[in-house]
Amino acid sequence: MHDKTLSELAAGLASGEFTSHELTQHLLSRIDCLDGELNSFITVTPDTALKAAERADAARAAGQAGALTGLPLALKDIFCTQGVKTSAGSRMLDDFVSPYDATVVEKLADAGTVSLGKTNMDEFAMGSSNENSHYGPVKNPWDLTAVSGGSSGGSAAAVAAGLVPAAMGTDTGGSIRQPAAFCGITGLKPTYGRVSRYGMIAYASSLDQAGPLARTAEDCALLLNAIAGHDLRDSTSVARGVPDYTAELDAPLAGLKIGLPKEYFGEGLDPTVAATVHEAIEVFETLGASVREVSLPHTHYAIPAYYVIAPAEASSNLSRFDGVRFGHRCDDPKDLIDLYERTRAEGFGEEVKRRILIGTHTLSEGFFDAYYKKAQQVRRLIRQDFLDAFEQVDVLMGPASPTPAFDLGAKSDPVSMYLQDIYTIAVNLAGIPGISVPAGFVDGRPVGLQVLGTHFAEERLLNVAHRFQQATDWHLRRPAFAEENA
């Protein structure tokens, strides 16, 4: 059962081949056996999961099952979940039990899904390897000496290892697409504002977006159907109708115009990754698509702009963690300043402190114009690059990451870690959607093909990814780790 996609599991539940309770129990026992090694979960919630599964089975028996009723999944530990510890991977929130549900959590529960627990992540979603978690790094199921990617590393590894068929993540600079690529699964970052951010612990509010990680594009479409839509509680969510994202999955790709940004195939790209991605793009040509080179001339400035904007927003968002209303508090503060300073020094990890310091510095008096304003101006140019490209082509394609998953502990210098996100970060600055799909392997580690579309082009991206998965079998490969322990 753990090998199946969400849509296959839905069929199995509908035909009575197994119940949600049986499925949930099976996956919980896999988590129990395997996750000690992987570390993909921070919190497992067997009791509430089994109760939710029973409710789903009862709803099905009463003829009230929807598309997702009884399907198990996991939630990145950044989504506030009522009555469940919600840590954001931080010591600061190690004992925080959320008093409310994020909109995404509420919608998935209303759709009848069964959450098995909360997945590991880089602290406050700041990281590209999941090594910045207070709860330790997540291992990559394809190679236990490699990182899972980040920041949604636990979500990606749990799906790849067959612990859950799907998981929710968030993506601020690549945090869904890059771990999906590293773990050989499919991950969708929707358009900014497509999915409510309410109850999603904020990192960089103008960039953060929630989305699904699953085995197939079809499964991502099923989940996007459940979570997309306007939410009065998130003023940045977009009031726009939600289509049925499964409706156009099978549309033919004849005539599709694909652009390859030349900046995404230049210096720094591992040549074996480049070859793998080019082979994937040839598949689209056999499906009737045409390919041409395009340019995104400000690509080089995306990482510098991001490392002004994201830390600036983070330094503001994280000021709420002050030891007063929730989260960690230092012992015996001598006065209020001491309470704040020691609470935050003890509660936050290295990378979070680094970004708070950068953000505070760049926003401080005398530096604002040179950094924050400048970065926002460059952000407009980066978005314009994409809008210009989408005048010429329907989608853009390239690698999700310049290399496959790197070794645990390999990148100790923060800047070299930041440069890993060169192909994903501009997408968040522009607010457009992107999807990573498995496209092959280099030395046993998965390679992701990234497909980008203009704002609200999720239907097209899912269609393109689905047709690719009809024509290839990379998404069907399973790591030996998952199979040996079946």
Partner 1 sequence: MALEQADVQRAAHLARLGLNDGDAARYVDDLNRILAMVDQLQRVDTDDIAPLSHPLDATQRLRADEVTESDRRTQFQRCAPAVENGLYLVPRVVE
Catalytically active residues, by annotation: 76, 151, 175
> Positive or negative, the Cα torsion across 435, 439, 440, 443?
negative
Q: Which residues, 424 to 443, sit near partner 1 by CB under 8 A? A: 429-432
Instruction: Give me the amino acid identity at 44.
Output: V
Q: If you compute the radius of gyration of the chain from its CA atoms, what whole number of angstroms results?
A: 21
Q: Which is nearer to partner 1, 7 or 237 (CB)?
A: 237
Preceding amide of 151 cis, omega within 30 = yes
Q: How far is the CB of 298 from partner 1 (least distance, A)?
A: 7
Please identify, using beta-carbon distances, which residue of 163 and 303 lies nearer to partner 1. 303
| Cα gap 9→24, rounded to integer Å | 11
List residues bridging with 72 in a β-sheet. Answer: 114
Q: Is 248 helix (H, G, I), strand (E, B) or coil?
A: coil
Q: What is the dihedral of CA 385, 389, 395, 396, to 10 degrees?
A: -60
By CB under 8 A, is residue 378 in contact with partner 1? yes
- Using CB under 8 A as the binding rule, whether residue 26 contacts partner 1 is answered as no
Name which of residues 339 to 368 contact partner 1 (CB under 8 A).
339-342, 344-345, 348, 353-354, 356-358, 360-362, 364, 367
Nearer to partner 1, 386 or 474 (CB): 386
Closest approach of partner 1 to the CB of residue 22, in Å? 35
Name residues contacting partner 1, limited to 81-120 (CB under 8 A): 96-99
Indicate which single residue of 26, 292, 320, 380 sits in contact with partner 1 (rule: CB under 8 A). Answer: 380
CA distance 461 to 366: 43
Which residue, 98 or 152, is less far from partner 1 as judged by CB? 98
Q: Would you say 199 or 446 has its CB closer to partner 1?
A: 199
Q: How far is the CB of 98 from partner 1 (least distance, A)?
A: 8
Which residue matches tokens 């799906």? 159
Shortest Å distance, C-beta 209 to partner 1: 10
- Asked if residues 424 and 452 have their Cβ atoms less than 8 Å apart, the reply is no
User: x/- string (CB under 8 A) for partner 1, residues 176-195?
Assistant: ---------------xxx--
Taking the CA atoms of 71, 119, 486 and 182 in sequence, report the sign of the dihedral they define: positive
User: Which is closer to partner 1, CB of 72 or CB of 434?
Assistant: 434
Smallest distance, partner 1 to C-beta of residue 96, A = 6
The owner of tokens 């009065």 is 232
Residue whose CB is less far from partner 1, 160 or 358? 358
Q: DSSP E strands: which ranges in 296-423?
A: 395-399
Window 224-253: residues binding partner 1 (CB under 8 A): 232, 235-236, 238
Provide the greatest CA pair distance for the chain: 70
Q: How far is CA 456 from the centre of its chain?
A: 17
Tokens representing residue 392 in the block: 């010429």
Work out the burial of residue 329: count CB atoms within 10 Å of its CB; fewer than 13 is exposed, 13-18 middle, 19 or more buried. middle
CB of residue 317 vs partner 1: minimum separation in angstroms?
Answer: 12
For tokens 């994201």, name the residue: 310
- Nearest alpha carbon to residue 199 among 234, 224, 171: 234
Which segment (103-111, 264-272, 338-346, 437-445) binds partner 1 by CB under 8 A?
Answer: 338-346
- Of residues 266-325, those binding partner 1 (CB under 8 A): 298, 300-301, 303-305, 307-308, 315, 319, 322-325
Does 265 engage in binding with partner 1 (CB under 8 A)?
A: no
**414 touches partner 1 by CB under 8 A:** yes
**Total number of residues that touch partner 1 (CB under 8 A):** 74
Question: Which helix H or strand E contains 358, and what residues bound it?
Answer: helix 350-363
Residue 206 CB, shortest distance to partner 1, in Å, is 6
The piece of 31-39, 127-135, 330-338, 389-397 that touches partner 1 (CB under 8 A) is 330-338
